[in-house]
Amino acid sequence: MFGLTGPSGFSRFSTAEEVTHGIDGSGLTAIVTGASSGIGTETARVLALRGVHVVMAIRNMPAGREVKEAILKQNPTAKIDAMELDVSSVASVNSFVSDYKSSGLPLNILINNAGILAPPYMLSKDNMELQFATNHVGKDVMCIFRIFLMFMF
């Protein structure tokens, strides 16, 4: 039962590269939040590998630049950008949305990966509890942005 392949032919041990093998994402644009580490980095890397234009929406720009360079080193033809976004801050989300709209890029895929778990009690720049601001408010705003762009382009 555990580790066996499911109806898709994949299991919990399948990699993102295996699952996306043969998929051509050319002509698609994706925003991946939290792409400067962990699952977000792997998601951005594999999407770029499959030809998707990836916009890494990240809070930590120096870490994001390192990830971008690592992806380009592995895949020199990757279309990948890094834009600053702190999903716990409404002002940062508004700035990101404005900058993204100005870029003229479409939005085909939105991966709301950014999140935090059990940080010490802290308030966001908007005076909300940080985990709630990051994991709920910011992601809701990004989903609304996605819906807005669907009807604008």
Residues 23-39 have pLDDT tens digits of: 999 999 999 999 999 99
The pTM of the full predicted model, rounded to 2 decimals, is: 0.84
Exposure string for 25-40, b = 16+ CB within 10 A, e = fewer: beebbbbbbbbbeeeb
What structural domains does the chain harbor? Answer: 23-152 (3.40.50.720)
Write the pLDDT tens digit of every residue in 76-108.
999 999 999 988 888 888 889 889 989 999 999
135 secondary structure, DSSP code: I
pLDDT above 80: residue 22: yes
- For the chain, the average pLDDT equals 88
Residue type, 37: S
Q: What are the distances in angstroms from CA 3 to CA 8, 10, 13, 15? A: 13, 9, 7, 13
Residue 120 has pLDDT above 70, yes or no: yes
- What percentage of residues in the chain have a pLDDT greater than 90? 54
Beta-bridged to residue 16, according to DSSP, are: none
